Amino acid sequence: MKKNAFKPPANWSKLYAKVKEIRDKLEAPVDTVGCSKLFDKSASAETRRYHILLALMLSAQTKDHVTAAAMHALIRYGCTPELVSKMSEKKLDGFISKVGFHNTKTKHIKAATETILKKHQGMVPRAYADLIALPGIGPKMAHLFLQEADGVVLGIGVDTHVHRISQRFHWVPATVKTPEDTRKALESWLPPEHWGEINGLLVGLGQTICTPRLPRCSECPAAELCPNAFKEAKTGGKRGRIADIEDVGTPRVRKSRGRGCTFYFFFFFYFCLIPHAHAHTPSLSAICVFLALLIVPCWRPAMYVSSFTLNMITLPAFV
C-alpha cells in the first residue's frame, strides 16, 4: 500500500465478506443479462469478444434488460465487425434506439469497429492501451472487457453502482467526485485479489438493495456494518447525479432564451401601453403588435395562447 493511501474503515473486510454472502443468495439483473452474458454462444471466440465489447458500449446509462434486448436484436441480424461496418448509421441506430445516448453510441460503435478492422485485423485488441484508444471506451469498459472476455484483471471496473456504494461504505475519501476517482482510491488499498469480483458484487447489490434512491436498509443484512445505514432512507436518498457514461460526448445544454422574453415585453409595452406615440400610423402599429405577440413568444410554446388572447384585446385599440 502506498504511504499516503486512503485508509478504509477498520471493518471493511467484514463488510466485504457480508456483501459476498448476500450476493451468493441474491440474484440480480447483472447475473442474468449483464454484459458478460450478452454474446452468441455459437459464434467464434473473436466474435464473442466483439459482442461483449458492444454490450459494454451500449450499457452505459442503460438498464441491463434494455441493453440485452438491443444486443439480441443485433445478434439476430448478424453482429460481426464486417457486418456492422457495412451497416448504415441509421440502420444500426434502429437496433439500439432504446438505449441511452443511442445516437452517440451509434457513431462510436461504427468508429470503433472501423478501427478494429483497419488496425487490429478485425479482432478486438487485447492490450489495455489499445482498448482505451477506441472511441467510446474508457477505463471502466476496458477493465471490465479484459476481465469478462479474456480473464485478465488489471484494475477495477467502476460504474455508478460501485461509485455510489463505495461512498456509502466509506471505502473512498469523501472528496471523490467521479467513478474514475473512485477506481483510483479503491485500487490504492483494496487487495488485488478482489479487483475482479468487486464490480459484480456491488452492481448486483446496487440493483436490488442499495439502490440510488431510498436504499432498502431495513432489508439489508449488512446494515449493522454499514456506516451510512438508514441515513439516506430518512432523507429520501437525495444524492447528486453521477454521470456513468464514458466518452459519449457532452450532454446538450439548452441555451437561455431570455432575449425572446425581453423582446416580448418590449414590444408589448411599447406598442400596447403607449399607443398614442404611434397614432399617426395605427395600421403599422397594429401589424407590429400582431407580429410581436405571435412570433416573439415562440421561445415558449405555452405563450402562444397568451399571445392570441392579447392580440384579441389589444388590436382593437389600433384600428
Q: Could you tell me which residues come within 8 angstroms of residue 255 by beta carbon, excluding any fewer than 6 positions away?
A: none
Report the b/e string of 5-43 with b at 16+ CB within 10 A.
Answer: ebebeeebeebbebbeebbeeeebbbbebbbbbbbbeee
pLDDT tens sequence across 157-215 = 999 999 999 999 999 999 999 999 999 999 999 999 999 999 999 999 999 999 999 99
In 10 A of CB 110, how many CB atoms?
Answer: 19
Tell me the pLDDT band of 6, cut-offs 50, 70 and 90. confident
Same fold, 1-27+155-231 and 34-152: no
Residues known to be catalytic: 140
Query: Which CATH superfamily includes the segment(s) 34-152?
Result: Hypothetical protein; domain 2 (1.10.340.30)
The C-alpha cell of 69 is what? 434486448
| Domain range list for the chain | 1-27+155-231, 34-152
| Long-range contacts of residues 182-186, Cβ cutoff 8 Å, at least 24 apart | 182/158, 183/139, 183/140, 183/143, 183/155, 183/156, 183/157, 183/158, 185/6, 186/156, 186/158, 186/162
Report the b/e string of 242-267 with b at 16+ CB within 10 A.
Answer: bebbbebeeeeeeeeeeeeeeebeeb
Give the side-chain half-sphere CA count within 13 A for 201.
17
Tell me the pLDDT band of 32, cut-offs 50, 70 and 90. very high
Give the domain 1-27+155-231 fold. Endonuclease Iii, domain 2 (1.10.1670)
Tell me the pLDDT band of 290, cut-offs 50, 70 and 90. low
In 10 A of CB 279, how many CB atoms?
Answer: 9
Higher pLDDT, 301 or 50: 50
* Angstrom distance (rounded) from CA 37 to CA 263: 56
User: Counting every residue, how long is the chain?
Assistant: 319
Per mean pLDDT, which range of 89-93, 148-152, 249-253, 256-260 is the poorest?
A: 249-253
- Would the pLDDT of 140 be above 90? yes
- Would the pLDDT of 254 be above 50? no
Scanning the chain, the segments in alpha helix (DSSP H) are: 12-25, 29-33, 45-59, 64-77, 81-86, 89-96, 102-119, 128-132, 139-150, 160-168, 179-187, 198-208, 231-235, 258-267, 282-295, 303-314
Phi-psi region of 138 (alpha: psi -120 to 50; beta: other; left: phi over 0): beta
- Would the pLDDT of 1 be above 50? no
* DSSP, res 270: I
- Would the pLDDT of 311 be above 70? no
Radius of gyration of the chain (CA): 28
The C-alpha cell of 276 is what? 398614442
